[in-house]
């Protein structure tokens, strides 16, 4: 049995499908502050298996302890957290409260229930401004915004905990840029309000919800002047969590591992690929650079291949086609109107 915190969210829901497909029993703990219950109904529909749900906040230690004891969970995959970089700058206290205090309560509950296997949803934001590319796990760590700092502090918290008690088994999965959706079109990214990530915004332009895309800067030192990022299909990313769980069964370690493709695509390359996948034009305008944006960021994924026997095989065309299918079939996300 696995406890999945934040399992109704974008990455969490796809991970739940892969866990169920791999034969795991799962309990999801979510407060639905940035997700929809419908996603879990669809997860069960895709997998043809049921899951248990605990409607609770990650900061509620009693609910966490109760969920661990009732489920008999042997491991936790921890997705629950606020994740919008821009919002974190405007509301830093909310991010420190939810992400840091929530993780602290979770770890306390795990200690109380003698559960010491954790897969943590970290981020490539812990690398800060890249000093060299591709980004390997030994790159110096820093953060340029409150969201990234919460991930960095949690990583340090986990390393300290493992140092104090080597019985812990921990995988700190540093994601690059998750995109796409399940091939069924039943689950996908459903941002609340204006999307903060590129591909859901592009998809909303393609489906007619937004008039055009702002391309923030075309004067970076990249092949076409626009920012370059490592985009990874969310299903490939979800499968990485299953591989991490399997690896932890034989390793009492606290290990940071990149989950990325090692290939960078520019904003304009993504835009053209989505036009091809959707058959829709994507109007765009060049705007000034945003503060804090970097020119390029992509992973060195060799450690994941070596340790987890994992790679991300989906192509850019796969990512865009699956994202478009989700958007076309669900123009309002999980809401019917």
H or E element that contains 142: none
Structure tokens at 204: 């909303």
8-12, 190-194, 289-293: which is most confident: 8-12
CATH class of the 2-184+231-262+300-312 domain in this structure: alpha beta
Distance set, CA 230 to CA 71, 171, 227, 251 (Å): 36, 21, 10, 28
pLDDT in tens, 269-310: 999 999 999 999 999 999 999 877 889 999 999 999 999 999
Listing DSSP states for 313-332 in one string gives ---HHHHHHHHHHHHHH-TT
- 157 phi and psi, to 5 degrees? -60, -45
User: What residues does each domain of the chain span?
Assistant: 2-184+231-262+300-312
Could you give the CA distance from residue 280 to residue 100 in angstroms, rounded to a whole number? 42
| Mean per-residue pLDDT, 160-183 | 97
pLDDT in tens, 238-264: 999 999 999 999 999 999 999 999 999
pLDDT in tens, 16-71: 999 999 999 999 999 999 999 999 999 999 999 999 999 999 999 999 999 999 99
At 144, the pLDDT band (50, 70, 90 cuts) reads confident
pLDDT value of residue 336:
65
At 188, the pLDDT band (50, 70, 90 cuts) reads very high
pLDDT value of residue 2:
98
- Residues contacting residue 110 through CB under 8 Å, at least 6 positions apart: 68, 76, 116, 118
pLDDT at 4 over 60: yes
C-beta pairs of 16-19 under 8 Å, 24+ apart in sequence:
16/40, 16/43, 16/47, 16/51, 17/43, 17/46, 17/47, 17/182, 17/187, 17/238, 18/235, 18/238, 18/239, 18/241, 18/242, 19/77, 19/241, 19/242
Does the annotation mark 147 as catalytic? Answer: yes
Reduced to 3 states (helix: H, G, I; strand: E, B; else coil), residue 179 is: strand
Start-to-end Cα distance in the chain:
36
At 197, the pLDDT band (50, 70, 90 cuts) reads confident
Could you give the CA distance from residue 208 to residue 203 in angstroms, rounded to a whole number? 9
pLDDT value of residue 199:
93
Instruction: Return the higher-pLDDT residue of 106 and 209.
Output: 106
Kindly name the residue from 127, 147, 231, 265 that is annotated as catalytic: 147
What number of CA atoms fall less than 13 Å from residue 235's CA on the CB side?
Answer: 20
pLDDT at 148 over 60: yes
At 198, the pLDDT band (50, 70, 90 cuts) reads very high
């Amino acid at each position: 049995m696995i406890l999945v915190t934040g399992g109704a969210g974008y990455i969490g829901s796809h991970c739940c499908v892969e866990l169920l497909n791999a034969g795991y029993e799962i309990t999801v703990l979510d407060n639905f502050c940035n997700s929809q219950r419908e996603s879990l109904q669809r997860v069960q529909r895709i997998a043809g298996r049921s899951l248990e749900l605990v409607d609770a906040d990650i900061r509620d230690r009693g609910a966490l302890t109760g969920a661990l004891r009732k489920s008999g969970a042997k491991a936790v995959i921890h997705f629950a957290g606020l994740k919008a970089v821009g919002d974190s700058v405007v509301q830093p206290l909310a991010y420190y409260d939810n992400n840091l205090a929530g993780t602290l309560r979770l770890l306390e509950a795990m200690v109380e229930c003698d559960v010491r296997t954790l897969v943590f949803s970290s981020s490539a934001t812990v690398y800060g401004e890249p000093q060299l590319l591709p980004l390997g796990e030994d790159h110096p760590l820093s953060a340029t915004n409150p969201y990234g700092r919460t991930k960095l502090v949690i990583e340090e918290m986990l390393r300290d905990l493992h140092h104090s008690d080597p019985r812990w088994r921990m995988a700190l999965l540093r994601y690059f840029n998750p995109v796409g959706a399940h091939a069924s079109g039943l689950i996908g990214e459903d941002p609340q309000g204006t999307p903060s990530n590129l591909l859901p915004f592009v998809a909303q332009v393609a489906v007619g919800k937004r008039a055009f895309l702002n391309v923030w800067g075309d004067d970076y030192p990249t092949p076409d002047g626009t920012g370059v990022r490592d985009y990874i299909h969310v299903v490939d990313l979800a499968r990485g969590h299953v591989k991490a769980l399997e690896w932890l069964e034989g390793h009492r370690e606290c290990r940071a591992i990149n989950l990325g493709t090692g290939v960078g695509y520019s904003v304009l390359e993504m835009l053209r690929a989505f036009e091809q996948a959707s058959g829709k034009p994507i109007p765009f305008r060049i705007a000034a650079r945003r503060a804090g944006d970097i020119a390029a960021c992509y992973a060195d994924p060799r450690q994941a291949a070596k340790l987890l026997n994992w790679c991300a095989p989906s192509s850019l065309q796969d990512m865009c086609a699956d994202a478009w299918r989700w958007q076309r079939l669900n123009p309002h996300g999980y809401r019917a109107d």
